[in-house]
Amino acid sequence: MNTRDTLKINNVGHIEIGGCDTVQLAEKFGTPLYVIDIDYITKIIDVFTKTIESEYGNGRMLYASKALSNMAMYKLVAGTSAGCDVVSEGELYTALKAGFPAEKLELHGNNKLPREIEMAIQNNINCIVLDNFDDIKLVAEIAKNNNKVVEVLLRLNPGISAHTHEFIMTACEDSKFGLSISNGTAIEGIGEILKQPSLKFRGIHTHIGSQIFEHEAYVETARVMTDFMLVIKETYGVETEELNMGGGFGIYYEGEDKVFTIETYKNHLLALINAVKSEIKKKSLKKPFLTVEPGRAVVGEAGVTLYTVGSVKDIPNIRKYVMIDGGMFDNPRYALYGSRYSACIANRANETADDLITLAGKCCESGDIISKDIMLQKAKKGDLVCVFSTGAYNYSMASNYNRNYIPPMVAVQNGKADYMVKPQNNQDIVRNDVIPEFIK
C-alpha cells in the first residue's frame, strides 16, 4: 500500500480513501466495489499538464481513456486542460455523450472500423493516429467522402522495448502496432499520407510500452523519433508539427515496484521534455507540439477494489486460498499477464500482515486469481479485502464471465461517495439474449 493524504489507515484501523471509510462504503454500496479517488486523478492530471505548460510550452496531455472509460471520467477530464485519446466507437460515443469537447479528442487503433472513423470525422475530432497502410487508405477515403481534410499522425515503431512485461510491450520490432522505422515502412507510410489530399500530415506518434519505471527509455525514444523527423524533412521537405510520445508512465502495484509520487512523474516528464528539447536543437528542427498520453498513471493508484471474503481454504504445505466475491470478471489482469497486486484486510488494516495467501476469485477457472502469494492479515469469512492500484485496466477490461455482474463504481472525494457506474442486475445480464424461433 502506497499511502497518501487520501488513502490511509484511519483511527479505527480501517482503510480510508477520499475521506471515506471503506467499511462504510462496503455497507452502503455492497461488494465487489470499485472505488475511485477523484482528488488523486486531478492531482496527476495537474502535474502532467502544468509541467508541459511551464517546461515546454506548446504541448498537451491526453488521458489514454482505455485505462478507465465511463461518462464520469470524461466529465472529470473535461474540467481540466487535458484531452483524451479514444480507441473505439464505444469510447468515442461515451466521451461525446458526457459532453467531452470533440476538439480535444484523438482517435487511435490498429484496425479502426469504417463506422468508427466516420463518427470521428463527422464529429470533427482533433486528429486521428494512423497505424498501417490499410488504415491510411481507409481514413483518406472516408475523409474524402465526407469532404473533409483530416489532421493525422502516424504511429511508428521505433524498435525500443521499455522495461515492462512482454505482453504489454508494444514497440519492439514484432508488434501489431505502427510502422517500423528500421525496415523502411514508416517513411513509406509518411509518403502515402502526403499523397492523400484528404489527409493533413501533422506528426508522428509512438508508445513504447507500459509500466515504464526508468526515464532513460523516453530519452532514447526522443532521440530516435527526432532522428526520424530529420529523415522526414530530408526525404519530403516537410516539418513534423507534432511529436506524440505516448504513455507508459508506471505506477506502484506491489513489492519492489518503484514508488511513484507527484515528484517522480514530474521528473520523468522533465527528462522526456529536456531530451526532446536538446535533440531538436542539436538537429536544427522546428520545435514540435509535444503530446504525452498517460493512462495507467492517471487512474491506476486512484482506484481500489473492495471484496468480501467468502471462504478460506488452507491446503497444508501447498497454498492458502482466500476466496472473495469478485475475480477475473472485475480484474482479468492476473489471468492475462500474471499481474500482481498488494491488498489488505480493510476492516483490520492495522494488524500485521503475516499470512502468505493467494487471493482467488469465484469464477470457474483455476487462473481466476487476483494476486498470488501475497502477505495479508489473517483472513476469515466476512472480512473486507481492499486490493490497491486497481483503477486502470480493471473496470475497462471487466466482463460478465460466468454471468457475474460487473461491479459498480463509486467516486469518493472529501468524505462524499456516489456512483460513477451503477450496479448491474439480472435484467442487464439477459438484456441482449434472444432465443431463436427454431430452438424454441
Ligand X SMILES: Cc1ncc(COP(=O)(O)O)c(C=O)c1O
The answer to whether residue 64 forms part of the interface with ligand X (CB under 6 A) is yes
Q: Nearer to ligand X by C-beta: 129 or 349?
A: 129
Kindly tell me which of 271 and 429 has the beta carbon lying closer to ligand X.
271
249 touches ligand X by CB under 6 A: yes
Cα–Cα distance measured from residue 282 to residue 280, given in angstroms and rounded to the nearest whole number:
6
Q: Which stretch binds ligand X (CB under 6 A): 11-19, 89-97, 227-235, 293-301?
A: 293-301
Residues 6+ apart with CB under 8 A from 94: 69, 70, 71, 74
Q: Which is nearer to ligand X, 108 or 333 (CB)?
A: 108
User: How far apart are the C-alpha atoms of 315 and 356, rounded to whole Å?
Assistant: 12
Q: Which residues, numbered 86-125, are part of the site for ligand X (CB under 6 A)?
A: 108
One of 20, 84, 364, 386 is an active-site residue; which one? Answer: 364
Among 207, 333, 348, 362, which residue interacts with ligand X (rule: CB under 6 A)?
A: 207
Active site residue 344: no
CB closer to ligand X out of 244 and 371: 244
**293 lies in the binding site for ligand X (CB under 6 A):** yes
Query: Which residue lies nearest ligand X, judged by its C-beta?
Result: 247
Contact 17, 377 (CB under 8 A): no
Q: Which stretch binds ligand X (CB under 6 A): 22-30, 186-194, 225-233, 288-296?
A: 288-296
Is 248 a binding residue for ligand X by CB under 6 A? The answer is: yes
Q: Provide the mask over 213-232, with x wherever binding to ligand X is found by CB under 6 A and - wherever it is not.
A: --------------------
Which C-beta is closer to ligand X: that of 41 or that of 297? 297
CA nearest neighbour of 357 among 376, 338, 339: 376
- State the nearest-atom distance from the C-beta of 83 to ligand X, in Å: 12
Count residues binding ligand X (CB under 6 A).
14
d(CA 133, CA 250): 31
210 in contact with ligand X (CB under 6 A): yes
Taking the C-alpha atoms of residue 238 and residue 261, their distance in angstroms, rounded to an integer, is 39
Question: Could you tell me which stretch among 31-39, 275-283, 289-297, 306-314 binds ligand X (CB under 6 A)?
Answer: 289-297
Indicate the residue among 296 and 333 with the shorter CB distance to ligand X: 296
Q: Does 246 bind ligand X (CB under 6 A)?
A: yes
Alpha carbon distance 282, 302 (integer Å): 39
Under the binding rule (CB under 6 A), the answer on residue 348 touching ligand X is no
C-alpha cell at 221: 525514444
- 67 is an interface residue for ligand X by CB under 6 A: yes
Instruction: Give CA–CA dist 235/387, Å, rounded.
Output: 52
Phi and psi torsions of 236, nearest 5°: -120, 0
Asked whether position 295 contacts ligand X by CB under 6 A, the answer is yes
Q: Which stretch binds ligand X (CB under 6 A): 132-140, 215-223, 295-303, 348-356?
A: 295-303
**Residues linked to residue 199 through DSSP beta bridges, in sequence order:** 150
Q: Which residues are part of the catalytic machinery?
A: 364
**Using CB under 6 A as the criterion, which residues of the chain lie in contact with ligand X when the complex forms?**
64, 67, 108, 207, 210, 246-249, 293-297
